[in-house]
Each structure stands twice: as structure tokens, then as C-alpha cells.
């Protein structure tokens, strides 16, 4: 089982003729609402990769639909609490050129307490994985509890914050970053990836695939991406990470977990949308990308 401490957002899309300027009032021509948040995306990916996903998170009373949708997608939602605050949301403006501007309000995601996380992890064992990202409160507390239980601890350091990474580094077994985050990490912490106190470091490289650094063995391997025509790269990293951790939880070796993550990521970039369009194992089989 993967216990995923993660954000749940309402993604509110607004089509606009151009992005807003300061002081401007603008009418949107099209609106839609979708399930989003890095945490929710990863839980959906884990479920679609045929592993058990227990989502540890929070919404407000306006977010019941999001919890229902996670449940429909096969995620265990019993550790999602309803708090007396607004559900996290992202206001996403997309203009006619496809350029976007995004405003995020974390809401309930940053109101998660250690007490709640501890009670959710009460059912976890050392067979299980603990996954988290940088969009909720309780990251240090969660990682500390999970590590003490002997769980394997995986952190996707996004959105990147050097202080947040530093605080959880000693508890991590696996760190997943994209190319930009990898650069920020080495610049801001002044340490090479291979010298981090984390056994496995995975750097995703978009259309260039990914790199796996095993600091124990002192090895580094690059895996080319699966060639596809990308139309929307939103959620590619979340999908990759969800499939990677799900595969490891199912007992597969790292190379196979990376391969599944890359196949899912490649399919994801050929689709428009986020959580709702994350591929499943059958899509991967049908696509025969590997």
C-alpha cells in the first residue's frame, strides 16, 4: 500500500482572450472544473497502476465532489478529513495562444495536522510506502512517523522549496525531482545529487527521459524517453511518480518501475487534462510503447 500525504485541489479553468494585466477586469469565454493537486494526481496514478493508494488529505465542505471522484477512481479516501476551511484550488487562466497564468490557494491542504496524519499511518507497516509532495502541511511530521515505522519514504520535491527539502532529507529513501528542481537543489543546497543522504535519486528530464542515481552503489543510469508527440505536459511528473511508486510497492525492481513510469508519462503528455485522464495499465499494454 502507498500512503500518500497529498494535496487535493479544484482546478478551475478559465479561457481568456489574453492574460490579465494589473487592474484589468476581463470576461472569460469558457469555464470548466477538474480534480487536481499534485497529491490527488499521484493517488489516481497509483490506483491506475494497480496498487493500493490511501490518500491522506483534507478538503472543505465544498470539496466533497473531489473526494467522491477519488473514490470512483479507486483511491482509499477514508483518511481524507473535511475541515472547516475552503478546499484548495487553482485558478488557471489559459489564453488563445495556450499561455497560462495560475493562482493557487492551498486552503485545507495546509491545515492538515500531525494528529490526523499519525492516525492515518496507524494502519501502515514496514511493507508500505509513504509518499508526499510540497503542497500540504505536516510533511516533516509525516516523514518522521513513516520513517520510524520502517516505511519506505518517497518525496517528490515539487513545488520546489530548498528549506522544505532540507527538513525531510534525512528521512528519505527516494527523492524524485524534475530537471529544474534538480538544478535548484544543487544550487541552493550546494550539494551534488550523488552526495545526498538519499539512496535513490530520480531526475525526470521531460522529453529526454530520466536519470537514476543510486548513491549506495555510486551508479548513475540514463533512460531515454518513449518518443511521442506531446500536446499537454501537465501532470506528466505526477503520473510518472505515481506509477514508479506503485510498481515498487508491487515489488518490482527499480528499472521496471522506471519503465512503467516513463510509459505512463509518455501517454499522459499525449492527452489534455490532469487527474481525469491519467492512463492505466491497460492503456500501457494497448500502446505497446516499451
Which residues sit at the interface with ligand ADP, rule CB under 6 A? 178, 204-207, 209-210, 225-226, 228, 230, 233, 236-237, 240, 262, 265-266, 269
Q: State the minimum distance, in angstroms, from the CB of residue 97 to ligand ADP.
A: 20
- Residue 38, classed as helix, strand or coil, is helix
What cell was used for 212? 537514476
Q: State the minimum distance, in angstroms, from the CB of residue 158 to ligand ADP.
A: 6
Would you say 134 is a known binding-site residue?
no
Question: Going by C-beta distance under 8 Å and a sequence separation of 6 or more, which residues neighbour residue 101?
Answer: 19, 20, 92, 93
- Closest to ligand ADP by CB, 63 vs 237, is 237
Whether 76 is catalytic? no
Would you say 271 is a known binding-site residue?
yes
Would you say 120 is a known binding-site residue?
no
Alpha-carbon distance 111 to 59, whole Å?
Answer: 9
Would you say 209 is a known binding-site residue?
yes
Alpha-carbon distance 110 to 167, whole Å?
Answer: 17
- Closest to ligand ADP by CB, 62 vs 207, is 207
Would you say 57 is a known binding-site residue?
no
- Closest to ligand ADP by CB, 22 vs 227, is 227
DSSP state of 277: G
Alpha-carbon distance 197 to 205, whole Å?
Answer: 22
Q: Which residues pair with 200 in a beta bridge?
A: 174, 214
Catalytic residue among 128, 200, 238, 249: 238
Q: State the minimum distance, in angstroms, from the CB of residue 59 to ligand ADP.
A: 24
Tell me the residue number closest to ligand ADP, measured at CB. Answer: 237
Q: State the minimum distance, in angstroms, from the CB of residue 63 to ligand ADP.
A: 24
Q: State the minimum distance, in angstroms, from the CB of residue 255 to ligand ADP.
A: 14
Would you say 38 is a known binding-site residue?
yes
Q: In what order do the strands lie in the sheet with 9-16?
A: 30-36, 9-16, 88-95, 100-105
- Residue 276, classed as helix, strand or coil, is helix
Residue in 181, 98, 197 with CA at minimum distance from that of residue 134: 181
- Closest to ligand ADP by CB, 16 vs 277, is 277
- Closest to ligand ADP by CB, 131 vs 145, is 131
CA 222 to chain centre: 22
For residues 132 and 117, the answer to whether their CB atoms sit within 8 Å is no
| Strand pairing class (200-204; 210-214) | antiparallel
Annotated catalytic sites, by residue?
238
**Binding-site positions:** 9-11, 37-41, 135, 178, 204-209, 232, 234, 237-238, 268, 271, 273
**Binding-site positions for ATP:** 178, 204-209, 237-238
**Binding-site positions for K(+):** 232, 234, 268, 271, 273
Amino acid at each position: 500500500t502507498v500512503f500518500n500525504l497529498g494535496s487535493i485541489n479544484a482546478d478551475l479553468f478559465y479561457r481568456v482572450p489574453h492574460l490579465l494585466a494589473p487592474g484589468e477586469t476581463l470576461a472569460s469565454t469558457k469555464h470548466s472544473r477538474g480534480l487536481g493537486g499534485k497529491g490527488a494526481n499521484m493517488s489516481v496514478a497509483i490506483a491506475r497502476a494497480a496498487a493500493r493508494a490511501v490518500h491522506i488529505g483534507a478538503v472543505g465542505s465544498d470539496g466533497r465532489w473531489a473526494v467522491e471522484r477519488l473514490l470512483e477512481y479507486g483511491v482509499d479516501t477514508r483518511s481524507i478529513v473535511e475541515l472547516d476551511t475552503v478546499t484548495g484550488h487553482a485558478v488557471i487562466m489559459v489564453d488563445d495562444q495556450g499561455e497560462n497564468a495560475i493562482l493557487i490557494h492551498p486552503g485545507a491542504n495546509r491545515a492538515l495536522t500531525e494528529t490526523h496524519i499519525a492516525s492515518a499511518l496507524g494502519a501502515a507497516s514496514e511493507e508500505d510506502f509513504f509518499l508526499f509532495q510540497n503542497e500540504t502541511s505536516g510533511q516533516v511530521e509525516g516523514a518522521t512517523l513513516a520513517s520510524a515505522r520502517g516505511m519506505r519514504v518517497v518525496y517528490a520535491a515539487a513545488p520546489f522549496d530548498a528549506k522544505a527539502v532540507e527538513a525531510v532529507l534525512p528521512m528519505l529513501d527516494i527523492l524524485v525531482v524534475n530537471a529544474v528542481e534538480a538544478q535548484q537543489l544543487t544550487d541552493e543546497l550546494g550539494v551534488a545529487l550523488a552526495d545526498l543522504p538519499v539512496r535513490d535519486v530520480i531526475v525526470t528530464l521531460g522529453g529526454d527521459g530520466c536519470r537514476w542515481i543510486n548513491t549506495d552503489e555510486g551508479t548513475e543510469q540514463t533512460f531515454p524517453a518513449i518518443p511521442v508527440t506531446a500536446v499537454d505536459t501537465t501532470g506528466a511528473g505526477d503520473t510518472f511518480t505515481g506509477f514508479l511508486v506503485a510498481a515498487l510497492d508491487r515489488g518490482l525492481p527499480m528499472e521496471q518501475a522506471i519503465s512503467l513510469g516513463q510509459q505512463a508519462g509518455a501517454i499522459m503528455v499525449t492527452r489534455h487534462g490532469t487527474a481525469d485522464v491519467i492512463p492505466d495499465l491497460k492503456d500501457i499494454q494497448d500502446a505497446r510503447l516499451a
